[in-house]
Chain A
Amino acid sequence: MSFVKPTFRHPTSTKNKAGFYKADYEGRISTLCAGCGHDSINASIVAACFEMNIEPHKVVKLSGIGCSSKAPAYYLNNSHGFNTVHGRMPSVATGANMANKDLIYLGVSGDGDSASIGIGQFVHVNRRNLNMVYIMMNNGCYGLTKGQDSATADIGSLSKGGSLNEFSPIDMVSLALEMGATFVARSFSGDKTQLVPLIKAAMAHPGFAFIDVISPCVTFNNNKGSTKAYDYVRDHIEVTSEFDFVPIKEEIAVDYPAGTQKSVTLHDGSQILLNKLNPDWNPTDRRSAMEKVQQARANGEILTGLLYIDAKTKDLHSMLETSDTPLNQLDAGVLCPGQSVLDEINTAHR
């Protein structure tokens, strides 16, 4: 088995505006199972960071435990990384973000890590609107422990061994909407034309951005009867809209038919362009998004694309009124102003 990737790249590869080649955003060669959906998500992250001209050292990649959570080894080799304990990625992300708000926080987790052991952390990071991207690589099973059903496995889904899941699934997208996430999307690892712009938009979004990515487990959950198999997902996929992300200062190149077009401008001036395929859905209205998700579920469809966005959101730093300068750049005197300041504060509370 190959343990290193050849160093040669296509001779036409060029640097992005930040001065990096796409290869500078890659990681080590994957040791996930051949054909794992996670690898496609990894490749999408690489593409998104390259296309967004992000300097690799401005990204923090975080993860918990599981197949998904070893994935950060396979992208962004030149970025910061933290592989936390099981289900505790949001806590570490919160702490890091509080200390340095200037970095981009990119967390990946799995359906086990997020929907079981880490669900408590997940709901609270939603509530707090922490400025981060949270990608859940969702394969409906515990791949690392040989494919037991996870909490996101659908009722009636068949495992590889033939057993039927009778427990009700947690729909993480609905949960995120309910818990106050300000950017909610769902995608499919096999659809990079949708996933890459979603990740780019999520990184530009100034609050908690959650993307549930259906990512088939080729080894344990790609069988007939599984609702997370490549074939099943392709057959049942339904998209909210054609989607394009236009970073600031770039010309808008797509032109959708009048009436269906909707654009959302983010705080930094970049734009999300949508060609709505569903006239009754409004991506900036939480209730409309929730209804749409429920409706699709009732129809047995897997609804993908951007589901909800609140572009005017206030993230955790705004709510807490933290310093504009990242804490890690403040010197000791500012961080710990001394007894007299403490006395003043205490006096103010008397």
Chain B
Amino acid sequence: MKPTNIQDPEYFHKVIDCQYACPAHTPVPEYIRLIANKKYTEAYMVNWESNVFPGVLGRTCDRPCEPACRRGRLEDEEPVAICRLKRVAADHKGEVKSLMPKIPEVKNGKKIALIGGGPASLTVARDLAPLGYEIHLFDEWHKGGGMMRTQIPSFRLPESVLDEEVNYITDMGIHTHYNHYVDSMKEILDADYDAVFVGTGAPKGRDLNLPGREEADANVHIGINFLASVAFEHRDKIGKNVIILGGGNTAMDCCRTARRLGGEKVSVVVRSPFQDMKASPWEIEDAQGEDVPILNNMPPKSFVVENGQLKGMWFGHVRAEYDENGKRHLIPTGEPDTFIEADDVIIAIGQDNAFPWIERDLGIEFGKWDVPVIDEVTFQSTLPKVFFGGDAAFGPENIITAAAHGHQAAISIHHFCQGIDVNARLAPKTNLVKQKMGIHEWMYDNMVVDDERFAVPYEDKVIALSDRKVEVELGFDTPTGFKEAQRCLNCDIQTVFSYDQCIECDACVDVCPTSCITFTTNGEEDDLRQRLTAPALNLDQDLYVSETLPTLRVMIKDEDVCLHCGLCAERCPTAAWDMQKYLYGVTKASKIL
């Protein structure tokens, strides 16, 4: 293998598993250390720079970081509670507004329209406002926030938290046009905007056309519409027996909301196996914890309506079989169909983009499935001044992805307005800093604790179910937050190897608790992975290979289960190993911190 090029900004970035997995590449270990040091305000700002909605995401994020967490690869270990630590920063921060960028009073003369007031548009606004853009935000509702307001129930995300983080942005001199549904893209284009950003999400919930659907219409609801009507207090009741169709996070929110609106016997019914459900495991657990059974392998067959009143639904029974390509087939088991009583049925089986308001003759090309053709890097449509982001760009994802899209779209819009190549991107901001404070003393807490993941405390169930506005999760208190933060392995503190200082004494090999380091003759990667001190079987994790040493061997470090404990560097007599903190930041349109 060739020596590893640690100058490549992505090499050490990839070692920070959580940050690498995060769509917005939030520097997770950095803010977790700040939390451990009680610097909640600073931790919040590190988040805010990167993901714009720390308070919201600390409660609702899909957490792509946690399955990636290195700690989860250790024996009997669960990942660090990254998401809930973010909330600790948000809950305990001090004054932050003064730390946010100043908005120039003199504008730069360019006007931007943002259609939709959700996370993608708000991120674009946040990134562009400090540059002096005049920004107009349009949303059909009376407040900003988009799906964060309409689709996430208050018992998971209190309105005050959302208002606070939306207002940080709208207070940056954004011209908000609420209660304004844009029904014609042409009108927007005819106005004098220099660029238009579409962040309208995926607002169309899928329906299910089964026998009896029309007759039952009064008691059949589309999931996201149901959640929105509850959020805006258009609905405060539901029948005692409720069926939720679908196994995603929207279905989980629907069933838990139904429990709070009078639903006593609320069931989630999915047509496929339980383990194939799309909902996050923790959201499924929360639903089950509120006495919602999840019935699987039961495809819905028909609605039963008697005298104009919905009585329930019939379901078939299937089992899943997977062919050699892994494709799933649902095979009927032959068991008799099951009837489930229902006063109301909520259909939460997915949602789609919908652009009825964009005229098809404007030069914005639409492709397969009637979605716009968007560049994956610049988020530009085929009409150069129009950009898309969030769910509106490539279909339903999540808040953190919308924020990541927003950052990139903001750069594109800035470049477009300034006559710079839209494809141009500045390199990420990187910084590699020695952590040595003295002999064997590090600037980070290198001791690896054995604590198991701490559970977030919950509100009493009776109280929680009595009012949909009572937040269920209470968040870590600061002592527990500290202990959970200490579980972080500090993967951003990199083990940097200088081959020209190494005397090949083997001290690092001998001390490494997880047998990551090997000195051996070089070879092809497949061969090397087999003959290291411990076999390197996780192919997603790189091998760090040094230049050839005086004994004609090379140092090979398997990054897979390195604990970043710093013992290799402590036991190295020549400081050939050094612990260095790697900060990686995605370059934004404007300087935020």
**Across-interface contacts of B441 in A (CB, < 8 A):** 1
Kindly provide the distance from the CB of A278 to the nearest chain B CB, expressed in whole angstroms.
22
Quick check: B507 and A8 within 8 Å, CB to CB?
A: no
Binds A, one of B253-261, B327-335, B568-576: B568-576
Quick check: B510 and A39 within 8 Å, CB to CB?
A: yes
The residue of chain B having its C-beta at the shortest distance from the C-beta of A22 within the complex is B515
The main secondary structure of chain A at its interface with chain B is loop
Quick check: B514 and A35 within 8 Å, CB to CB?
A: no
The residue of chain A having its C-beta at the shortest distance from the C-beta of B73 within the complex is A11
Quick check: B573 and A34 within 8 Å, CB to CB?
A: yes
Quick check: B570 and A34 within 8 Å, CB to CB?
A: yes
Q: A5-B567, A30-B511, A35-B574 are in contact. Are A10 and B506 (CB under 8 A)?
A: no
Kindly provide the distance from the CB of A185 to the nearest chain B CB, expressed in whole angstroms.
19
Quick check: A190 and B506 within 8 Å, CB to CB?
A: yes
Interface residue from A2, A10, A35, A43 paired with B503 (Cβ < 8 Å): A35
Quick check: A2 and B74 within 8 Å, CB to CB?
A: no
Quick check: A6 and B565 within 8 Å, CB to CB?
A: yes
Bitwise interface map of A from 29 to 59 toward B, beta carbon under 8 Å scored 1, else 0: 1100111110110110000000000000000
**Across-interface contacts of A1 in B (CB, < 8 A):** 439-441, 570
Taking the complex as formed, is A350 at the interface, i.e. its CB lies under 8 A from any CB of chain B? no
The residue of chain A having its C-beta at the shortest distance from the C-beta of B520 within the complex is A193
Interface residues of B in 409-462 (CB under 8 A from A): 439-441, 446-448, 450
Kindly provide the distance from the CB of A82 to the nearest chain B CB, expressed in whole angstroms.
24
**Across-interface contacts of A192 in B (CB, < 8 A):** 506
A5 to B514, CA, bound (A): 10
Bitwise interface map of B from 497 to 511 toward A, beta carbon under 8 Å scored 1, else 0: 000000111110111
Bitwise interface map of B from 478 to 517 toward A, beta carbon under 8 Å scored 1, else 0: 0000000000000000000000000111110111011110
Kindly provide the distance from the CB of A220 to the nearest chain B CB, expressed in whole angstroms.
12
Quick check: B73 and A4 within 8 Å, CB to CB?
A: no
A263 to B446, CA, bound (A): 48
Taking the complex as formed, is A234 at the interface, i.e. its CB lies under 8 A from any CB of chain B? yes
Taking residues whose C-beta sits less than 8 angstroms from the other chain, chain A's interface range is 20 to 34
Taking the complex as formed, is A12 at the interface, i.e. its CB lies under 8 A from any CB of chain B? yes
**Across-interface contacts of A5 in B (CB, < 8 A):** 511, 513, 567
Quick check: A11 and B563 within 8 Å, CB to CB?
A: no
Kindly provide the distance from the CB of B126 to the nearest chain A CB, expressed in whole angstroms.
40
**Across-interface contacts of B550 in A (CB, < 8 A):** 231, 234
Bitwise interface map of B from 269 to 280 toward A, beta carbon under 8 Å scored 1, else 0: 000000000000
Quick check: A7 and B450 within 8 Å, CB to CB?
A: yes
A9 to B562, CA, bound (A): 10
Taking the complex as formed, is B188 at the interface, i.e. its CB lies under 8 A from any CB of chain A? no
Interface residue from B446, B505, B537 paired with A218 (Cβ < 8 Å): B505
Quick check: A10 and B515 within 8 Å, CB to CB?
A: yes
**Across-interface contacts of A6 in B (CB, < 8 A):** 447-448, 513-514, 563, 565, 567
Taking the complex as formed, is B75 at the interface, i.e. its CB lies under 8 A from any CB of chain A? yes
Taking the complex as formed, is A347 at the interface, i.e. its CB lies under 8 A from any CB of chain B? no
The residue of chain A having its C-beta at the shortest distance from the C-beta of B572 within the complex is A34
Quick check: A234 and B447 within 8 Å, CB to CB?
A: no
Quick check: A35 and B511 within 8 Å, CB to CB?
A: no
The residue of chain A having its C-beta at the shortest distance from the C-beta of B533 within the complex is A10
Quick check: B571 and A11 within 8 Å, CB to CB?
A: no
**Across-interface contacts of B448 in A (CB, < 8 A):** 6-8
Q: A12-B535, A34-B571 are in contact. Are A4 and B507 (CB under 8 A)?
A: no
A-B contact pairs, 27 of them (CB 8 A): A2-B566, A5-B511, A6-B513, A6-B563, A6-B567, A7-B450, A7-B513, A8-B513, A9-B513, A9-B515, A10-B534, A10-B561, A11-B75, A12-B534, A13-B515, A13-B534, A33-B573, A34-B570, A35-B573, A36-B507, A37-B505, A39-B507, A39-B510, A189-B505, A190-B506, A218-B573, A234-B551
- A6-B567, A8-B514, A218-B505 known; 11 new pairs, CB 8 Å cut-off, are A1-B570, A5-B513, A6-B514, A7-B448, A7-B513, A10-B514, A10-B534, A11-B561, A39-B507, A40-B505, A190-B504
On A, residues with C-beta under 8 Å from B are 1-2, 4-13, 29-30, 33-37, 39-40, 42-43, 189-190, 192, 216, 218-219, 222, 230-231, 234
On B, residues with C-beta under 8 Å from A are 73-75, 77, 439-441, 446-448, 450, 503-507, 509-511, 513-516, 534-535, 537, 550-551, 561, 563, 565-567, 570-574
